[in-house]
Amino acid sequence: METMPPVLLGVSLLIPFMVALALHRFLESRLVVSRPLIVQPRKQFFLELALCMAAGSVVVIYNTLAYGFPATSGLSLLLGCAVVGFFLGLDMALARERTVIQDTLSENRALPPPKRLYSITRKFSLVALITILFVSMVLGLVIARDVVWLSKIQESDISLTQAQLSVMREVFFVMVVLLAAIVNLIVSYSKNLKLLFQNETGVLEKVTQGDLSRLVPVATNDEFGVIAGHTNTMINGLRHRLQLITALKLAEEVQQNLLPAKPPLLPGLDIAGISNYCDETGGDYYDYFRLTNGDLGVVVADASEHGVSAALLMTTVRALLRQRVTMETDIARIVSEVNAELARDVASSGRFMTMFFLKIESKTNILSWVRAGHEPAILYNAEDDIFLELAGEGMAMGVVEDLKYQKYNHKGWTPGSVVVVGTDGIRETQNESGEMFGLNRFREAIRRHAARSAEEIKSRIIADLTVFQGEAPQEDDITLVVVKLL
């Protein structure tokens, strides 16, 4: 085939390559564009290589049949088509990869991380090895042909000099063409690397600014694709967390609105209360009720655990209590009925709620209470400097359905005395050394501030608790209600 005139060989090459070019768009749409985005660059490479090899094979077959050339004479032509297809395929695959990156970026689509990783190092090594083989084979064929040609020319100085220059020009031309193809691939791949880096860093910069609206295109199945996929997973996780935080903030606002906005104004009584949650929502609860006979009911309750589940339990108990206090004056019966309703709903879940229900008869200065597994309230007689615990038996609510609670009474509540009802979060608050606030410090704080108003007593006790806690985290909800007899 080497003896064919260049024009005839060029025409025989041009026709099949023109046919391949005409079929290119159709085959590309069917074999490349219709495939998943992440495999399109690889499919593009094989399409270009296959078209070049097919065109070269057609030329070899035609020349073999039409001119009787041996099939082995077309090996150099097939090698040339393979080299052209290899470099053309890589360049088109890189261009396809850029298109995929830009399309996914403009549409803000997040593809999953590649299931199979094709390492950049492995791809570089493979491309470098194939390039070296092709360059070596092309140069070897060129040099071998030139050696044969040099052996046939006349042995004169002029002929040898011209032959040497011709060989040098041919080798130089082949080297320039191959080098240009390699440089073109390097430039093309550098564009892709730059685009991938810009997309990754651009999205991460937006994330640091709080903008989670963009995702990183997963357009490669190498390390960049893995990093992009995990970055998108992180962004989606941050979005979900942000939504959760927003929902918790809303739940916190709703739950705070369920607590009393201000204490009731009753002659002879000074009242103040507060709940501080360690999370956005909590299970502590306090409330005031005007009972049907005009007496005041004060409730402090503490759900097991804390957080959203405890907050749901707290709202359930609040609804049940508010329904019962409008129908009943016996606080023991109120607590028993609420417990029966609650146990039917949560007994199987293992959740429960403790409660202290205090009833104040302001006309007779009689205190009545029901203790459902809760911390005893503290009665401080400022005149005699005596502490009394309002204790009694009673299991936590939501455990046994048919449990009947007992009411306890205390008479002789003297003016200036203070009743403090809190949750276990007060006594169990720990400082940085792991030491608990404890009952003694709690009582001492009550004694120290008992001469003040109920609001000031509440605020000073919370302030003492905060100073004791220091930098240690708050691990439980804290609720405190102070009632002072004027």
pLDDT at 9: 60
- Distance (Å, rounded) from C-alpha 337 to C-alpha 326? 13
Amino acid 52 reads C
| 10-residue stretch averages of pLDDT, the chain, 486 residues long | 56 78 89 86 89 85 71 72 87 87 72 72 82 79 66 60 70 80 86 84 85 79 80 84 74 71 88 84 84 86 79 84 87 93 86 92 86 94 91 91 93 88 92 92 94 94 93 89 92
- Distance (Å, rounded) from C-alpha 303 to C-alpha 314? 6
pLDDT at 227: 83
pLDDT at 455: 95
Specify burial of residue 94 (Cβ count, 10 A radius: 0-12, 13-18, 19+): buried
Length of the chain: 486
pLDDT at 272: 95
pLDDT at 270: 93
Instruction: Report CA torsion sign: 140, 142, 148, 154.
Output: negative
The yes or no reply on domain 263-485 and CATH 3.60.40.10 is yes
Residue 256 host element (H or E): helix 223-258
Specify burial of residue 48 (Cβ count, 10 A radius: 0-12, 13-18, 19+): buried
- Distance (Å, rounded) from C-alpha 42 to C-alpha 220? 10
- Distance (Å, rounded) from C-alpha 55 to C-alpha 15? 9
pLDDT at 147: 64
Among 396, 397, 379, CA closest to 388: 379
Angle 129-133-137 (CA atoms, 0-180°, nearest 5)? Answer: 175
pLDDT at 157: 56
Radius of gyration of the chain (CA): 43
Residue 42 host element (H or E): helix 40-67
> Is there a contact between 359 and 296 (Cβ–Cβ < 8 Å)?
yes
Amino acid 196 reads L
Sheet holding 353-361, edge to edge: 284-290, 296-303, 353-361, 366-372, 407-410
Among 132, 28, 11, 129, CA closest to 62: 11
pLDDT at 252: 64
Looking at the chain, the domain(s) classified CATH 3.60.40.10 span 263-485
Residue the block writes with tokens 């495939």? 35
Residue the block writes with tokens 């240690």? 472
Contacts of residue 225, defined as CB under 8 A and 6 or more positions apart, other chains included, come to 38, 113, 114, 117, 218, 219
pLDDT at 327: 84
